[in-house]
Amino acid sequence: MKRSSQIGLAAAGVLLVATVWSMTSEDPQENLVYDSLGDCRAAGQLTAQQCETAFSEATAARLKDAPKFQSQTACETQYGANGCSSATIGGAQYFIPALAGFMLARGLSGGQQAQPLMPPTASACPPGSTLPECQQARSSSSGSSGSSSSYGSNRSRAYSTTSGRSITAAFAGGSRGGSVSTTSVSSRGGFGSTARSFSSHSSS
C-alpha cells in the first residue's frame, strides 16, 4: 500500500491521542532563589548539605563583592532603610548591603557558585514604591535567620546583585523557594516585515 494505514487528527477529534507528553516548565536557564538558609532547607529542592554550601558561598561572595560604603546613611540611601549592615573587611569598618537572599543555578551543573542577593536599589524600588516586588523586599527581614511573611500565595520579590543588576524572583504559592529567569525579552517583532510588504503573497 502506498498510503498511510491510519489518519488520526487530534484537533478534529477523528482519533484521540491518549497521552500528550508535556515538557516540564523548567527552563535550564532558570535560577533558584532562597531568602535564607532555613527557606532553602524547607523548600526541599536541594539537600541540606547543598543549601549550606550555597549559603556559605553567597555569604563569602557578599563580603568580597558587595559595594562598600563609609557610612550607614550612604549605604541606606542606595539600599533602603535597614538595608545595610556593618562589616569589618581587611581590618576596616564598612557598611555593605544586607544579605537578602541567595541565588544558584538549577541543576547545579557547570560548577557555578551561589550568588548573594541584596535589597533592591533605590533606582529599582524607590522609597514608597507600590510595586508588589518592592513592598515584599522592604517588608521582610532576611539573612540566615530569615523569617519571611506569608507563604500562602504567589508572590514576587525584588533584589539586586553585587554587579548592581536588579532581578525579581517569583515564588509559587506556598513555596519558600523562588525562581528567577536570568533572561528577559529585549525586543519583539523582528520577523514578518517582508510578508507585510508582500501582503498578497506568502508561501508556495
Of the two residues 29 and 144, which places its CB atom closer to another protein in the complex? 29
Contacts of 86 (CB under 8 A, 6+ apart): 72, 93, 94, 95, 96
Q: Is the Cα torsion angle 7, 13, 16, 17 positive or negative in sign?
A: positive
Residue 192 in the binding site for another protein (CB under 8 A): yes
Residue 1 in the binding site for another protein (CB under 8 A): yes
Per DSSP, the three-state class of 103 is strand
Contacts with another protein, 138-177, as mask; x by CB under 8 A: ----------------------------------------
Q: Which stretch binds another protein (CB under 8 A): 33-41, 78-86, 112-120, 191-199?
A: 191-199
Q: How far is the CB of 28 from another protein (least distance, A)?
A: 9
Of the two residues 23 and 92, which places its CB atom closer to another protein in the complex? 23
Q: Are 35 and 179 in contact (CB under 8 A)?
A: no
Q: Which stretch binds another protein (CB under 8 A): 17-25, 83-91, 121-129, 130-138?
A: 17-25
Q: Are 84 and 75 in contact (CB under 8 A)?
A: yes
How many other CB atoms are there within 10 angstroms of residue 6's CB atom? Answer: 6
Q: Are 166 and 121 in contact (CB under 8 A)?
A: yes
List interacting residues with another protein (CB under 8 A): 1-12, 14, 17, 19-23, 27, 29, 182-195, 197-199, 201-204
